[in-house]
């Protein structure tokens, strides 16, 4: 039976949890409720989702066209998914707050992770609220950079010469569903310039804005449980994994949903 709506519970300091629903039983109407929740609250947590990768992909396709980050290794039999894992690593992965695949002209609107194996401790995922980051900027900063664009570039992946490696995006991005402005950044390593500003000053501004975005008291820390699915809106959040105190294996599958063409 298809569900026509979703019961949401608010998380603190932001975000939502979807209660009592499976991703396999969502109607078009409930998908629209989900998109609205993501646009307004940044991310949604689904607990106790006893599903497989095929179910996960079908769910993501309800949200839009799937995409894949070139350079990642796809899951066997599921070319739109890739694995996020610490298995076989001698040292913890490096993870900083970022926006997924923001160096392309049409970045993913949504990223989703499905938990397959959860460590006995550690391995949380943290989220920043980029609406709040924008709204708490001084008015003079909002006015000065109202029309500014940032050059997002690739890092950490090797691509062919004809593949996208950089793209300009508004520093203050208006969400197409909520209509709200968000501070649209990624890690400073991937934000190389601001339109109309000399490089040295642009680097300083990017680092200050990035630091402003990720103050600890504003963050949500997701503690993973077995069979969790978490989906977030890249247009109004940044995220990172905390690998610092992981004990045990951590394996998740990741899928991306393409944003609307501009």
Are residues 236 and 200 located together in one domain of the fold? no
Containing structural domain, residue 157: 134-213
For residue 189, the 8-state DSSP code is G
Are residues 107 and 228 located together in one domain of the fold? yes
Are residues 96 and 154 located together in one domain of the fold? no
The whole-angstrom separation of Cα 128 and Cα 134 is 11
Are residues 80 and 183 located together in one domain of the fold? no
Domain membership of residue 2 (yes or no) is: no
Are residues 188 and 231 located together in one domain of the fold? no
Supply the pLDDT for residue 4. 74
Backbone φ/ψ region at 93: left (φ over 0), alpha (ψ -120 to 50), beta: beta
Rounded mean pLDDT of the chain? 93
Are residues 19 and 90 located together in one domain of the fold? yes
Q: How many helices (H) and strands (E) does the chain have?
A: 5, 17
Are residues 225 and 171 located together in one domain of the fold? no
The whole-angstrom separation of Cα 255 and Cα 5 is 23
Are residues 73 and 164 located together in one domain of the fold? no
Supply the pLDDT for residue 7. 93
CATH of the domain at 53: 3.60.130.10
Are residues 225 and 208 located together in one domain of the fold? no
Are residues 15 and 105 located together in one domain of the fold? yes
The whole-angstrom separation of Cα 51 and Cα 151 is 39
Domains held by the chain: number:
2
The secondary structure of 76-137, three-state, reads CCEEEEEEEECCCCCCCCCCCCECCCCCCCCCEEEEEEEEEECCCECCCEEEEEHHHHHHCC
What predicted TM-score, i.e. pTM, was given to this entire model? 0.95
For the residues 44-57, what does the mean pLDDT come to?
97
Domain membership of residue 140 (yes or no) is: yes
Domain membership of residue 1 (yes or no) is: no
CA distances for 110 relative to 39, 51, 66, 161, 231, angstroms: 10, 19, 9, 27, 7
Q: Residue 261 — very low, low, confident or very high, per pLDDT cuts 50/70/90?
A: very low
Enumerate long-range contacts of 155-163, CB under 8 Å, 24 or more apart.
Answer: 155/187, 155/189, 155/190, 157/69, 157/70, 157/71, 157/72, 158/71, 159/70, 159/71, 163/70
Are residues 21 and 112 located together in one domain of the fold? yes
Helix/strand/coil for 197 = coil
Supply the pLDDT for residue 94. 76
Supply the pLDDT for residue 149. 98
Q: Above 50 in pLDDT, residue 8? A: yes
Helix/strand/coil for 247 = strand
The whole-angstrom separation of Cα 105 and Cα 111 is 17
Q: Above 70 in pLDDT, residue 150? A: yes
Are residues 193 and 118 located together in one domain of the fold? no
């Amino acid at each position: 039976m298809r569900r026509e709506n979703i019961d949401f519970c608010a998380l603190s300091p932001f975000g939502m949890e979807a209660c009592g629903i499976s991703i396999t039983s969502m109607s078009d109407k409930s998908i629209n409720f989900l998109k609205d929740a993501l646009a307004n609250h940044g991310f949604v947590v689904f607990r106790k989702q006893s599903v497989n990768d095929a179910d996960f992909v079908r769910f993501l396709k309800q949200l839009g066209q799937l995409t894949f980050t070139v350079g990642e290794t796809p899951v066997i039999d599921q070319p739109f998914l890739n694995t996020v894992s610490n298995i076989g690593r001698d040292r913890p992965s490096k993870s900083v707050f970022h926006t997924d695949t923001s160096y392309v002209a049409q970045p993913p609107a949504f990223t989703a992770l499905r938990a397959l194996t959860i460590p006995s401790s550690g391995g949380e995922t943290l989220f920043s609220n980029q609406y709040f980051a924008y709204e708490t900027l001084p008015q003079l900063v909002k006015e000065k950079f109202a029309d500014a664009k940032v050059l997002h570039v690739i890092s950490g992946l090797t691509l062919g010469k004809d593949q996208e490696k950089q793209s300009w995006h508004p520093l203050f991005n208006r969400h197409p569903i909520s209509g709200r402005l968000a501070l649209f950044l990624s890690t400073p390593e991937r934000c190389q310039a601001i339109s109309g500003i000399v490089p040295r000053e642009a680097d300083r501004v990017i680092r200050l804005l990035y630091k402003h975005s990720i103050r600890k008291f504003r963050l949500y820390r997701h503690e993973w449980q077995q069979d969790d699915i978490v989906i977030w809106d890249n247009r109004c959040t940044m995220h990172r994994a905390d690998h610092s105190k992981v004990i045990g294996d951590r394996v998740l599958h990741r899928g991306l949903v393409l944003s609307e063409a501009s």
